[in-house]
Structure 1
Amino acid sequence: MGSSCAWRPLLRPRPSPPTPRKIGSPPFSVEKPREPQILKALTGFASPMEQDVTLCKVEEIPDGALKHFEIMGYDVMVVRLGDHFYCVDEACTYKWAMLTDGHVDRERVAVVCKDCNGAWDLRTGQPKDLPAKFPLNVYRIETVGDDVIVTFTY
């Protein structure tokens, strides 16, 4: 009753691994704009949509303050340092804490998380101190008269 054929496992093709994310791109970041022809096919517009959102009056944000706002379902924070305003994502990319609970490092123009002590540059969103590894999204902000206006791209 012996068989001359040895047992071999059934070979199946392995599924391809998922495409890796770029290093430094968090899973929650806003997608980069698509090619114009793809955008036009999907949305009817050839460029990403931008919307100017008036957040508040200039005097409502004191110097050195961190203030939370919600724009189209996204949590952002506005920081005022003298006459300069900065708008970035509000969530810490390490512990998901609210960065408005942290503090501003004026010398480095950075926001520091109170939970993990990670720091991010307010001008670029890039991490400055560990354990922060992923950048924050940065939004264009300006003052027109006494209004603070953020340009939100989606």
Structure 2
Amino acid sequence: MTRKLRLCALEALVEGQATRIDIEGHRIAVAMVDGQVFAIGDRCSHANFSLAEGYLSVDGCSLECPKHGSSFSLTTGQPDSLPAIKPVPVYDVSVEGDDVVVVLPGGEG
């Protein structure tokens, strides 16, 4: 079962920047690229650093870990470069009115 929750206000996101949001035990990096909102796990699978503090590549639609430079796809969560080899979670996210809504795994929906 999944849960659909308000993640943040759409106006809280800045185009071309990532933001870390903690919600119900999930650390999520949220980014807006060309008006589209993406949400992936905020912890680098290699070094456990915050991806939201890294570099957002709008051309490559990826987020780079600030510690060792591994880059993660915003659409698949797959690492595009070493040293990371494991993907990070990708969250289903949508815009509903003025809110960004995320679907979280588990719990009652």
TM-score category, normalised to shorter length? over 0.9
How far 1:82 moved relative to its partner? 2.1
Residue-by-residue CA offset, 1:84-141 (whole Å, 9 max, x unaligned): 1111100011111111110111111000011110001000001101111000100100
Paired with 2:27 and 2:7, the residues of 1 have a C-alpha distance of 12
Query: Identity of counterpart residues, as a percentage?
Result: 26
How far 1:55 moved relative to its partner? 1.4
1:5-154 pair list within 5 angstroms:
49-154=1-106
Which structure carries more strand by proportion?
2
Q: Report the secondary structure of 2:91's partner residue.
A: strand
Paired with 2:96 and 2:48, the residues of 1 have a C-alpha distance of 32
- Scaled by the length of structure 2, the TM-score of the pair is 0.93
Higher relative contact order (CA 8 A, sep 6+): 2
Give the paired residue count.
106
Residue-by-residue CA offset, 1:12-53 (whole Å, 9 max, x unaligned): xxxxxxxxxxxxxxxxxxxxxxxxxxxxxxxxxxxxx21111
Whose radius of gyration is greater, 1 or 2? Answer: 1
- Scaled by the length of structure 1, the TM-score of the pair is 0.67
Which 4+ residue blocks in structure 1 deviate beyond 4 angstroms? none
User: Residue type of the partner of 2:77?
Assistant: G
Note the residue ranges of structure 2 that are not aligned, 5 or more in a row.
none
User: Residue type of the partner of 1:68?
Assistant: R
Once superposed, what is the RMSD of the aligned Cα atoms?
A: 0.9
